[in-house]
């Protein structure tokens, strides 16, 4: 059919899609069908001259209304084949550049899903109307090409400033939300506000609220919300969900209450967001109230969303039994409900139970989605189950599961949490898009594994590559600064937060409180805390923990009182900090009072709380109580062993110290510096030099532990007591630490006891060098010379002492 080859444009445009792409005859028939519908005389040979092409519509007398009707018909039918045939005919006739026809074609092609064809028509059309801009921008947003949509909007503002529809503005806000493009999002906000659409249009407000929350600016979201005069369920849900998803549980619940006070009927989404809010601040009582309300309204059986949220809420509050009960009562358990249970176990530190859930989920034939895999990988990271994690990775690759950013970041997180940083980097480098969440996963691994310096280097590289840090990034960096005591870098990051207007975010302020506290700047930590607009249990715990960590026990306990007066209910973490504070100052009565409170609140079964109870009782000298609680521990961690061991050492009960140490070894727990210090203290108390030397040798040779100054001090003290002063001096000179004045002074005292002149002279010289005003050292050295019959030397030392006193 020779005529077909005279329309190469039509062939390339029409024949590349659908079932017709390999049949040129069908292409020609498609064109012929279109012409017949338009009542155009079709020449048998399909040949038209150039003049005929350009004037065919006019000569045939075809009204434009008929052409429009045909366009509308194809648009409603969503027929891409017919749309392409009509497009091919327009191209063939040289009419694609016509403004009227071009704009109509753009609408039809977009509506039938042919966005790239619409773009080509758009580019060739001289004058584009509002409908064309609206349709093409919205099509790119609907198709997930958010950057293209925003670029097209920028082009429109520059070349063709038309008034876009409300729907298109909402689509553009969605694009900014997905890309976290705050700059263009705020520009759109200004444009919408100038049009006066914000006061009464809840849909605009909901979109802007969602965008600001996504960009980590809840204060901005609240500002937009407050401007709206009439608020419906949709906009309230945007606020509740936004606050809950970003960890502001208290604000989410306040919104839920205000919503009801304004007589707006809550939907399933309202309850789901509120339950999420309860979970993130562990508001157990409020969560149980919501549960009752949900049951009363009959919402639990309506859909899986609320059931999964209840499971998640109870699990996050540490009520694993209740979470499991709700889960077991669900009529249908899908991936979301399994994932909620798994996520709850992970948050509570029960990674093994989460992995058991994943196994059972697979046995029941529930399909895995990305979130279930993310939970499983996180559990592997928490449980250090690197082999299981690698198997899951292989399973993902084998099944061809799409490696989206969330899943890729979870793999990076799993490998880095297990300390496998090479594998983490392999996955990280293989990601097509290394966004902020992927960098955060790498940062988190470094911070959690104690590699604070590497985390800060990672942060620097992230900025070099032009990746914008978010609130999570800053939080990890501040934590890294705290872990390596890098106050200068911490202050630098604080200044960055001020510059970007993020300092006011509570999540950031909590991290700042923590960083300053860990760096020992407790006054600055208190100052940042005082500037918090709203303080939740996390804020208080962060401040209290900083005080405890640096030995400010009284201040920590005062904070607990203020927290309760602020009507914030202490949680398990508060109890841990309070019990540690009681142990530091030996406040046994207060400690016992705290123990009763722990039992009352149901925190006693928490492994961390129970271990801290052992520490508190041991530090307060109540070893019987400490031993009883220790014996009840389901899993005895190193901290608990060390607390008990050093508690016995503090009381001078050497036999119990040695017995506890042996049991610790038998249990398979590896002793550390603290364990051996307790044992050496017990040896000092009992004067057991030979046994101390054995433990010292075991520590260095069997366990590869480098002794600290305190361990050397114990041995030196024992040598001094045994009269082996030359060996004591040899130990001091050989140890990899500079001896302080207290150590030299103790050796000088031993020399006075044993009448050792030579070693005593060396010890005296170091004492005076380190502390010239130490009068006691002069007296002891004078006594050593006098007892040795070296009276002239004694007079010389006495004269030096008198000169020193006159100088003072």
Query: What confidence tier does 194 reach under pLDDT thresholds 50, 70, 90?
Result: confident
Count of domains for the chain: 1
Mean pLDDT confidence for 328-351: 80
> Where is pLDDT greater, at 326 or 79?
326
CA distance 363 to 735: 59
> What is the 3 state secondary structure string of 281-299?
HCCHHHHHHHHHHHHHCCC
Of 74-88, 176-190, 749-763, 794-808, the least confident: 74-88
Given a cut of 50, whether residue 365 has pLDDT beyond it is yes
**According to the 3-state scheme, what is the secondary structure of 502-535?**
CCCCHHHHHHHHHHHHHCCCHHHHHHHHHCCCCC
Confidence of residue 591 (pLDDT cuts 50, 70, 90): very high
User: What integer best gives the mean pLDDT of the chain?
Assistant: 82
**Does a structural domain hold residue 501?**
no
Residue of 514 and 504 predicted with greater confidence: 514
How crowded is residue 45: how many other Cβ atoms within 10 Å of its Cβ?
Answer: 10
Quickly tell me which residue has 């990746």 as its tokens: 467
**pLDDT at 64 exceeding the cut of 80:** no
Within a domain: 681: no
User: What is d(CA 174, CA 208) in angstroms, rounded to the nearest whole number?
Assistant: 9
Rounded CA-CA distance 57/95 in Å is: 10
Phi–psi pair at 322, nearest 5 degrees: -65, -40
Q: How confident is the model at residue 773 (pLDDT cuts 50, 70, 90)?
A: confident
Rounded to an integer, the average pLDDT of 778-799 is 92
**Secondary structure letter of residue 348 according to DSSP:** T
**Is position 777 within any domain?**
yes
d(CA 424, CA 405): 14
Does residue 729 lie in a domain region?
yes
Q: What are the two backbone dihedrals, phi and then psi, of residue 258, each rounded to the nearest 5 degrees?
A: -65, -35
Instruction: Say yes or no to pLDDT of 790 above 50.
Output: yes
Residue 191 three-state SS: helix
Tens-place pLDDT, residues 538-560 = 889 999 999 999 999 999 999 99
CA–CA separation, 437 and 450 (whole Å): 20
Of 397-406, 584-593, 603-612, which one has max mean pLDDT? 584-593
Residue 781 domain flag: yes
Q: What is the mean pLDDT of residues 271-298?
A: 91
Token pair for residue 455?
Answer: 């985390």
Residue 39: its pLDDT value, please? 43
Q: Say if residue 143's pLDDT is above 70.
A: yes
Domain for residue 415, yes or no?
no
pLDDT band for 303, please (50, 70, 90 cuts): low
Residue 18 per-residue DSSP state: G
Q: Is the separation of the CB atoms in 548 and 582 below 8 Å?
A: no
Number of other residues whose CB lies within 10 A of the CB of residue 263: 6
Q: 82 to each of 65, 71, 77, how far by Cα in Å?
A: 18, 10, 9
Position 184 pLDDT exceeds 90: no
| Position with higher pLDDT, 180 vs 83 | 180
Find, among 549, 515, 509, the residue nearest to 529 by Cα: 509
Average pLDDT (497-511) is 81
Which tokens sit at 552? 């400010």
Q: Which pLDDT band, with edges at 50, 70 and 90, does 255 fall under?
A: very high
pLDDT digits (tens, 9 = 90+) for 149-164: 888 888 887 666 667 7
The residue length of the chain stands at 808
Distances (CA, A) of 632 to 27, 409, 624: 82, 39, 13
- The residue with greater pLDDT, 600 or 3, is 600
Rounded Cα–Cα distance for residues 744 and 115 (Å):
84
Q: In this structure, are residues 705 and 672 in contact, taking their beta carbons and an 8 Å threshold?
A: yes
pLDDT at 623: 92
- The residue written with tokens 């208290």 in the block is 250
Average the pLDDT over 607-625 and give the result.
Answer: 90
Centre a 10 Å sphere on the Cβ of residue 453 and count the other Cβ atoms it contains. Answer: 14
Q: Which of 447, 440, 438, 417 is nearest to 515 (CA)?
A: 447
CB atoms within 10 A of CB 253: 23
Residue 474 lies in a domain: no
Q: What is the pLDDT of residue 304?
A: 60
- The C-alpha R_g of the chain, in whole angstroms, comes to 37
The domain that contains 741 carries what CATH number? 1.25.40.10
pLDDT at 348: 66
Phi and psi, residue 22, nearest 5°: -105, 5
3-state SS string for 374-394: HHHHHHHHHCCCHHHHHHHHH
84 in Cβ contact with 117 (< 8 Å): yes
Q: Could you tell me where the beta strands, DSSP code E, fall in 248-367? A: none
| Nearest of 442, 670, 537, 488 to residue 248 by alpha carbon | 537
- SS3 at position 608: helix
Q: Give the model's pLDDT for residue 18.
A: 35
What is the predicted pLDDT for the residue at 385? 74
From residue 466, alpha-carbon distances to 74, 459, 607 in Å are 45, 11, 43
What is the spatial distance between Cα 722 and Cα 212, in angstroms, rounded to a whole number?
72
Query: Which of 67-71, 411-415, 496-500, 660-664 reaches the highest mean pLDDT?
Result: 660-664
Domain that holds residue 773: 708-808
Q: Say what the pLDDT of residue 350 is.
A: 74
- At residue 12 the predicted structure's pLDDT band, cuts being 50, 70 and 90, is very low
* pLDDT of res. 395: 81
| Mean pLDDT along residues 429-458 | 88
Q: How far apart are CA 404 and CA 1, in angstroms?
A: 49
Lowest-pLDDT range of 73-77, 89-93, 298-302: 89-93
Local confidence band at 424 (pLDDT 50, 70, 90 cut-offs): confident
Task: Please compute, for residue 497, the number of CA atoms within 13 A of its CA located in the half-sphere on the CB side.
Answer: 27
User: Closest Cα partner for 378 from 441, 323, 433?
Assistant: 441
Q: How is residue 652 written in tokens?
A: 């001078």
Q: How many CA atoms lie within 13 A of 479 on its CB side?
A: 21
pLDDT of residue 544: 94
CA 4 to each of CA 10, 19, 25, 55: distance values in angstroms, whole numbers, following the listed order: 9, 18, 7, 20
Tens digits of per-residue pLDDT, 81-108? 666 666 666 665 555 555 666 677 777 7
Cα–Cα nearest to 175, from 149, 198, 157, 154: 149
Q: What DSSP line would sit under 58-72, residue for residue? A: HHHT--HHHHHHHHH
Structure tokens at 537: 């249990």
Is the backbone of residue 282 left (phi > 0), alpha (psi -120 to 50) or beta?
A: left
Torsion of Cα atoms, 259 then 265 then 271 then 276, to 10°:
-20
Nearby residues of 49 by Cβ (< 8 Å), 6 or more positions away: none
Residues 6+ apart with CB under 8 A from 196: none
Q: Is residue 796 part of a domain?
A: yes
- The C-alpha angle with vertex 468 and arms to 467 and 473, in degrees rounded to 5, equals 105
């Amino acid at each position: 059919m020779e005529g077909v080859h005279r329309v190469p444009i039509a062939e390339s445009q029409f024949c590349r899609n659908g079932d017709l792409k390999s049949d040129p005859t069908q292409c020609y028939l498609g064109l012929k069908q279109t012409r017949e519908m338009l009542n155009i005389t079709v020449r048998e040979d399909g040949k038209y001259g150039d003049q005929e092409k350009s004037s065919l519509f006019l000569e045939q007398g075809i009204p434009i209304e008929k052409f429009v009707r045909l366009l509308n018909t194809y648009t409603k039918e969503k027929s891409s084949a017919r749309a392409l045939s009509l497009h091919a005919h327009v191209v063939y006739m040289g009419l694609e550049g016509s403004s009227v026809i071009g704009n109509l074609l753009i609408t039809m092609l977009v509506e039938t899903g042919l966005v790239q064809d619409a773009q080509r028509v758009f580019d060739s059309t001289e004058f584009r109307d509002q409908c064309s801009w609206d349709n093409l921008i919205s099509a790119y947003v609907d198709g997930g090409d958010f950057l293209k949509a925003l670029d097209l909007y920028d082009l429109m503002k520059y070349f063709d400033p038309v008034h876009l529809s409300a729907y298109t503005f909402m689509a553009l806000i969605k694009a900014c939300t997905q890309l976290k493009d705050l700059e263009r999002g705020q520009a759109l906000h200004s444009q919408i506000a100038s049009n006066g659409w914000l006061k009464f249009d809840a849909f605009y407000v909901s979109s802007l609220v969602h965008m600001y929350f996504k960009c980590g600016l809840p204060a901005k979201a609240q500002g937009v919300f407050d401007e709206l005069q009439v608020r419906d369920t949709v906009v309230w849900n945007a606020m509740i969900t936004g606050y809950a998803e970003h960890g502001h549980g208290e604000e989410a619940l306040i919104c839920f209450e205000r919503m009801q006070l304004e007589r707006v009927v809550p939907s399933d989404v309202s309850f789901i967001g509120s339950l999420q809010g309860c979970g993130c601040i562990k508001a157990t009582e409020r969560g149980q109230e919501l549960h009752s309300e949900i049951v009363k309204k009959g919402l639990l059986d309506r859909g899986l969303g609320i059931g999964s949220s209840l499971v998640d809420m109870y699990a996050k509050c540490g009520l694993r039994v209740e979470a499991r009960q709700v889960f077991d009562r669900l009529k249908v358990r899908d991936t979301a409900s399994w994932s909620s249970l798994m996520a709850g176990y992970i948050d509570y530190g029960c990674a093994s139970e989460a992995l058991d859930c994943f196994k059972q989920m697979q046995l029941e034939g529930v399909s895995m989605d990305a979130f279930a895999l993310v939970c499983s990988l996180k559990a592997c990271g928490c449980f250090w189950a690197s082999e299981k994690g690698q198997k899951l990775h292989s399973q993902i690759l084998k099944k061809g599961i799409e490696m989206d950013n969330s899943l890729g970041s979870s793999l990076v997180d799993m490998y880095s949490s297990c300390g496998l940083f090479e594998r983490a980097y392999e996955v990280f480098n293989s990601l097509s898009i290394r966004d902020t969440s992927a960098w955060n996963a790498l940062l988190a691994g470094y911070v959690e594994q104690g590699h604070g310096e590497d985390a800060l280097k990672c942060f620097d590289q992230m900025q070099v590559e032009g990746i914008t840090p978010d609130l999570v990034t800053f939080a990890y960096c501040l934590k890294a600064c705290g872990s390596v005591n890098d106050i200068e870098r911490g202050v630098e990051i604080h200044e960055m937060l001020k510059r970007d207007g993020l300092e006011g975010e509570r999540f950031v302020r909590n991290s700042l409180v923590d960083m300053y506290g860990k760096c020992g700047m407790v006054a600055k930590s208190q100052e940042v805390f005082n500037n918090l607009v709203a303080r939740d249990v996390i804020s208080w715990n962060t401040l209290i923990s900083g005080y405890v960590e640096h030995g400010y026990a009284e201040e920590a306990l005062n904070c607990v009182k203020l927290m309760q007066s602020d009507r914030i209910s202490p949680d398990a973490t508060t109890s841990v900090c309070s019990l540690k504070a009681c142990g530091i100052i030996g406040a046994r009565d207060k400690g016992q009072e705290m123990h009763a409170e722990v039992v009352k609140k149901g925190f006693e079964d928490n492994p961390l709380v129970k271990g801290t109870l052992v520490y508190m009782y041991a530090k307060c000298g109540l070893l019987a109580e400490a031993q009883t609680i220790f014996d009840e521990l389901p899993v005895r961690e190193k901290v608990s062993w060390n607390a008990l061991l050093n508690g016995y050492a503090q009381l001078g009960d050497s036999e119990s110290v040695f017995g506890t140490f042996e049991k610790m070894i038998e249990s398979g727990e590896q002793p550390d510096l603290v364990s051996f210090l307790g044992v050496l203290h017990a040896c000092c108390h009992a004067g057991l030099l030979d046994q101390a030397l054995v433990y010292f040798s075991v520590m260095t040779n069997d366990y590869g532990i480098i002794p600290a100054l305190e361990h050397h001090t114990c041995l030196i003290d024992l040598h001094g007591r045994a009269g082996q002063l030359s060996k004591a001096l040899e130990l001091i000179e050989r140890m990899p630490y500079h001896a302080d004045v207290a150590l030299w002074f103790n050796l000088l005292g031993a020399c006075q006891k044993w009448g050792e002149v030579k070693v005593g002279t060396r010890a005296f010289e170091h004492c005076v060098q380190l502390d010239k005003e130490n009068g006691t050292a002069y007296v002891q050295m004078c006594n050593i010379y006098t007892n040795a019959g070296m009276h002239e030397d004694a007079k010389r030392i006495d004269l030096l002492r008198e000169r020193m006193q006159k100088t003072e």
